[in-house]
């Protein structure tokens, strides 16, 4: 299988939505279909195309079928420890039938080059302790930060 990574386009909406909140989707994987409402999804999608929003999305496209097989979303933000912004990889997803072909790795490598392009070279992300499949990939492309993530109850 060969594939390409490119920025999302408005015409990708239906296929992106299917990966985001359809059957076998990212939000289903996170059991979060009820938390991320259609209104939030709509705003998020719009932000990808708003030059005033530091919110971005790239997609992986199967070269043979032209279908979307994965995506990554990411944000840049200020950091008190650096002059440059940092880049937070918010969401990463590869369709079940396209996994283990290097798509996840290629998406992360694209995010690294986006970090350079956006002058946000410090790239970081979080994953659940139990997400061993994702960690198989992350240990190959990244290093553990040593920090635990807490949140407001």
Complex with ligand COA: residue 21 or 84, whichever CB lies closer: 21
Complex with ligand COA: residue 49 or 105, whichever CB lies closer: 105
Phi-psi group of 152: left, alpha or beta (phi > 0 → left; psi -120 to 50 → alpha; rest → beta): beta
Q: Can you tell me which of 15, 59, 104, 111 binds ligand COA, judged by CB under 6 A?
A: 104
Count, residues near ligand COA per rule CB under 6 A: 19
Complex with ligand COA: residue 104 or 115, whichever CB lies closer: 104
Q: Can you tell me which of 61, 103, 111, 123 binds ligand COA, judged by CB under 6 A?
A: 103
| 27 part of the interface to ligand COA, by CB under 6 A | no
| 54 part of the interface to ligand COA, by CB under 6 A | no
Give the residues lining the site for ligand COA (CB under 6 A). 26, 29, 92-94, 99-105, 127, 131, 133-134, 136-137, 140
């Amino acid at each position: 299988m060969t594939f390409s990574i490119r920025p999302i386009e408005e015409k990708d909406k239906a296929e992106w939505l299917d990966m985001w909140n359809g059957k076998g989707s990212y939000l289903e994987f996170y059991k979060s279909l009820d938390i991320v409402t259609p209104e939030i999804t709509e705003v998020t999608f719009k932000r990808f195309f708003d030059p005033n929003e530091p919110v971005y999305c790239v997609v992986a496209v199967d070269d043979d079928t032209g279908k979307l097989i994965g995506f990554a979303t990411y944000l840049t933000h200020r950091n008190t420890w650096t002059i440059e912004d940092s880049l937070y990889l918010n969401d990463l997803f590869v369709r079940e039938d396209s996994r283990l072909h290097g798509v996840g790795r290629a998406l992360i490598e694209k995010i690294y080059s986006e970090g350079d392009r956006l002058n946000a070279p410090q790239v970081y992300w979080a994953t659940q302790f139990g997400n061993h499949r994702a960690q198989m990939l992350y240990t190959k492309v990244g290093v553990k930060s040593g920090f635990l993530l807490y949140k407001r109850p």
